């Protein structure tokens, strides 16, 4: 049987605006991400945590697309995810698996959030160029996605369906 932390996970479309993410929860979320495996232990990920009322939130929030802002601004935490693409100079890859490794770290953070009775909704509906100009990531770092984390104010959709294991193993995507 699949673990309940995985089986009950869903991406809320509404967050409880009173559902704050305190310092201890934030530390546990980031620690879970830190423990994710990565190629050569390179850990090519970074996170900018932005809670309502904090300066980072004021920097991030204006760059959300209207479609995301409707629900993400009520989350207790917005997280900007970054990956390290190159080191020293463009063209010298830091890790060719950086995006994959970032995904592992986000998955670990997501499972930890479930364990803390928090929900995570990953999204990309934001102004990437504007947010990059606002945050000015260091050389070699690029913003990839965002996460909204908090207390869900809605439940999983009754129509929620997932592909079956058979669909995942029959390789319909291969020629």
Say how far apart CA 152 and CA 174 lie, in whole Å.
37
The pLDDT, as a whole number, for residue 86 is 82
The pLDDT, as a whole number, for residue 65 is 98
Contact between residue 133 and residue 59 where contact means Cβ atoms under 8 Å apart: no
b/e per residue 82-98 (b: at least 16 CB within 10 A) = bbbbbeeeeeeebbebb
The pLDDT, as a whole number, for residue 158 is 46
The pLDDT, as a whole number, for residue 9 is 87
The pLDDT, as a whole number, for residue 85 is 86
| Strand ranges across the sheet with 77-84 | 45-50, 77-84, 141-150, 119-123
What's the DSSP call for residue 152?
B
The pLDDT, as a whole number, for residue 171 is 57
Domains of the chain and CATH, by start = 4-152 (3.40.109.10)
The pLDDT, as a whole number, for residue 4 is 86
Question: How many residues are recorded in the chain?
Answer: 175
Residue 147 phi, psi dihedral angles, 5° rounding:
-130, 140
The pLDDT, as a whole number, for residue 100 is 93
Mean pLDDT of residues grouped by 10 in the chain (175 residues)?
A: 86 93 98 93 92 97 97 98 84 82 96 96 97 95 97 70 57 57
Residue 165 phi, psi dihedral angles, 5° rounding:
-60, -40
Please give the mean pLDDT across all residues of the chain.
89
The pLDDT, as a whole number, for residue 167 is 59
């Amino acid at each position: 049987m699949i673990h309940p932390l995985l089986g009950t996970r869903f991406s809320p479309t509404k967050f409880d605006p009173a559902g704050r993410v305190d310092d201890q929860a934030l530390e546990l979320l980031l620690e879970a991400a830190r423990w994710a495996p990565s190629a050569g232990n390179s850990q090519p990920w970074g996170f900018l945590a932005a809670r309502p009322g904090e300066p980072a939130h004021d920097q991030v929030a204006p760059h959300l697309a209207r479609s995301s802002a409707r629900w993400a601004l009520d989350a207790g935490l917005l997280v900007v995810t970054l990956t390290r693409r190159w080191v020293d100079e463009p063209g010298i890859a830091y890790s060719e698996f950086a995006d994959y490794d970032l995904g592992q770290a986000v998955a670990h953070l997501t499972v930890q959030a479930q364990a803390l009775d928090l929900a995570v909704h990953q999204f990309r509906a934001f102004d990437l160029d504007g947010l990059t100009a606002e945050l000015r990531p260091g050389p070699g770092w690029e913003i990839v996605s965002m996460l909204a984390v908090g207390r869900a104010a809605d439940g999983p959709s009754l129509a929620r369906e997932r592909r079956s294991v058979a669909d995942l193993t029959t390789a319909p995507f291969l020629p």
